[in-house]
Amino acid sequence: MPLLEVKDLTVRFDTGGGTVHAVSGVTYALEPGETLGVVGESGSGKSVHVLSMLGLIPKPPGRIAGGQVIFEGRDLLTMPEGELRDIRGKKIGVIFQDPMTSLNPVLTVETQIAEAITSHGLMSRKAAKARAVELLDLVGIPEPQKRVTQYPHQFSGGMRQRAMIAIGVACEPKLLIADEATTALDVTVQAQILDLMKDLKKKLGMAMIWITHDMGVVAGLADNVQVMYGGRIMERGPSRAVFNDTRSAYTWGLLRSLPDHSEGRVYETHTPGQAKKRPRLQQIAGAPPDMTNPPPGDPFAPRNPFATERCHREVPPLVQARDAAPGHLVAAWYDLPQALLTNPTGAVPAAAGEAA
């Protein structure tokens, strides 16, 4: 039984400038203990897809236009707000980069962690305060007894992020959702936090949805990767399969680069040694679609040098890729050229912290 089943999730924003097609027909299942990495350019619907399942998009202008999100057998999208609020933070922990939902500057770290626990009626105030110290210790904050009585401004950026993680896992959730949780941190601190996450995942046995722009983070952390574009899933599968046997031109573009092919080149090639010196996420030629007026077919078709006539016309379904690992799915009417599939430079990107 999957822990979470997202079925045909569709989210719209009705704005003065038109209806934004933020998320369209997103469908996937997450197993207990699984770590899913969600990647894609800005505006691809990564945040809205998780915010909407948690009841956190502003309505209006937002609206759930269709779908179901089954968590432990119940649909989160039709659940009364009170019950959803109880699941949020208790069974589904969240860590956002958004300062709105970050730490409160006028409350001690102890108060904030204890509040996260007592608001779900899990423990007495006194027991929750003792638990706050344990949690700071668990997330690797030194001298937790002393630190717990401090305010967020007395913490470094990395320590604040650890404190946010402590709050996110305070109730030992079945699922932890992190949206750009390490993006603001420097590379060394980020690597420490990712190690911590791997460790916590083992200790607590929770599943994770990890949203990031950084392919290196995903390579180091995720069992499965889901690549989003124009509010849709373009490719999904075991991380190794998606990185080494890429089937979507969009994923390929994220991993390599799609330089100007008017010069006769389609994709830049480079050796793995050179690849490490390059930024991990390359710019893809062309601009993301205007989501108030999305293309009728494959949203990536206008930027895809391999697009066929059908790509411009019809949305491709997300299906098992041909001769690929089981569970490796792709939404594409076209085939990437064999030369790209078997490209010997198609290595897994260096996991964050491992890069030279």
Which residues of this protein are in contact with ligand ATP, per CB under 6 A? 13, 15, 20, 22, 40, 42-48, 58, 61-62, 213, 291
Minimal distance, residue 47 CB to Mg ion, in Å: 3
Minimal distance, residue 287 CB to ligand ATP, in Å: 12
Minimal distance, residue 50 CB to Mg ion, in Å: 9
Pick what 270 binds: ligand ATP, Mg ion, none; C-beta below 5 to 8 Å, kind-dependent. Answer: none
- Region binding Mg ion by CB under 5 A among candidate stretches 45-53, 143-151, 167-175, 219-227: 45-53
Q: Which is nearer to Mg ion, 51 or 241 (CB)?
A: 51
- Starting at the earlier edge strand, list the strands of the sheet with 35-39: 92-96, 175-179, 207-211, 35-39, 224-229, 232-238, 329-330, 319-320
User: What number of other Cβ atoms are within 10 A of residue 184's Cβ?
Assistant: 13
- Region binding Mg ion by CB under 5 A among candidate stretches 39-47, 57-65, 129-137, 269-277: 39-47
Q: Which is nearer to ligand ATP, 288 or 353 (CB)?
A: 288
C-alpha 19/C-alpha 269 separation (Å) is: 39
Pick what 43 binds: ligand ATP, Mg ion, none; C-beta below 5 to 8 Å, kind-dependent. Answer: ligand ATP
CA 332 from chain centre, in angstroms, equals 22
Minimal distance, residue 221 CB to ligand ATP, in Å: 17
- The tokens for 261 are 């092919």
- The tokens for 101 are 């939902």
Q: Which is nearer to ligand ATP, 22 or 200 (CB)?
A: 22
Minimal distance, residue 76 CB to ligand ATP, in Å: 17
- The tokens for 63 are 């609206």
Task: Confirm if 6 and 26 have CB atoms less than 8 A apart.
Answer: yes
Minimal distance, residue 233 CB to ligand ATP, in Å: 12
Say if residue 260 is exposed, middle or buried (CB neighbours under 10 Å; 0-12, 13-18, 19+). Answer: exposed
C-alpha 78/C-alpha 177 separation (Å) is: 20
- The tokens for 220 are 């180091």
Q: Does 97 bind Mg ion (CB under 5 A)?
A: no
Of 60, 164, 73, nearest to 112 by C-alpha is 164
Pick what 251 binds: Mg ion, ligand ATP, none; C-beta below 5 to 8 Å, kind-dependent. Answer: none
Q: Does 47 bind Mg ion (CB under 5 A)?
A: yes
Minimal distance, residue 213 CB to ligand ATP, in Å: 6
C-alpha 321/C-alpha 328 separation (Å) is: 6
Q: Which is nearer to Mg ion, 47 or 246 (CB)?
A: 47
Pick what 124 binds: ligand ATP, Mg ion, none; C-beta below 5 to 8 Å, kind-dependent. Answer: none
Give me the DSSP letters along 233-287. EEEEEEHHHHHHS---HHHHHHHS-B--GGGT-SS----HHHHHHS-SSPPBSS-
Q: Which is nearer to ligand ATP, 41 or 245 (CB)?
A: 41
Q: Which is nearer to Mg ion, 48 or 311 (CB)?
A: 48
Q: Which is nearer to ligand ATP, 91 or 213 (CB)?
A: 213
Binding site for Mg ion (CB under 5 A): 47
